[in-house]
Structures are given as structure tokens and as C-alpha cells.
Amino acid sequence: MRILGITNFFDEIFILEKKDIQKPSDYIFNKIKKMKFEKYIFVGDDPINDIEPALKHGFFTYRVIRGFFKKEISQSKAHIEYKDLNKLNYLIEIGVKNE
């Protein structure tokens, strides 16, 4: 996020791997939602353990299709699926709507 120059567009950035919480976890989504942000964007690469739970909790989802999970298929599709984070700048510029 820092490399993309977009950290100043967010009130908070949570990195789940650093929270010692095994994914998927309703706990972290519920905790974040209690903070009452205007919008929630979830960025992940695993469609089953990242994207599906985020969608379930009403987050706008951005799936990065690369690495270990790039061929993984799920019944739930992210709002945006792209090979890297370059489209994230565009989302921020146009504004993201949570469903």
C-alpha cells in the first residue's frame, strides 16, 4: 500500500497475517465493522479464505490473482480480480461502494 502511495486514503489498514488470527475468521471482520467506517475494502489472494468471508461480511473485495492461489476457483467472485494491485489506485479515485 505504501509503495502504491495510497495509504493516506485509508483511516486504518489491517494486515491479518500480522494479527495472529487464522483465516477465515468472523472475529476480525466483526471487530473492524464495529469501528463504523464509511467503506470497507478487503484485498486478498485466496478466494476461499479471503474473498468469501469478506463478501459474507459486506466488504468490497479485490482479489490479487497471483502466487499459490492464482488457479484457485471459488463460487464467490470478488468485485475486482486483477493480477496485481494497480487497479486499486483507480478504485480509490472513483470511490468504492460497499454493498
**What's the pLDDT tens digit per position in 7-43?**
777 777 777 665 566 777 888 888 888 888 878 888 8
* 87 burial type by CB count under 10 A (0-12 exposed, 13-18 middle, 19+ buried): middle
Residue 6 clears pLDDT 70, i.e. is over it = no
Of the CATH numbers 3.90.45.10, 3.30.360.10, 3.40.50.1000, 3.40.50.720, which one belongs to the domain with range 7-94?
A: 3.40.50.1000
Torsion of CA 20, 32, 69, 85, to 10 degrees: -120
Q: What is the mean pLDDT of residues 89-94?
A: 69
- Which of the two residues, 7 and 81, has the higher pLDDT score? 81
pTM: 0.77
Indicate the DSSP class of residue 81.
Answer: E
38, 10 contact by CB (below 8 A): no
Confidence (pLDDT) at 54: 92
Distances (CA, A) of 33 to 39, 65, 75, 83: 10, 26, 24, 27
Q: How confident is the model at residue 97 (pLDDT cuts 50, 70, 90)?
A: low
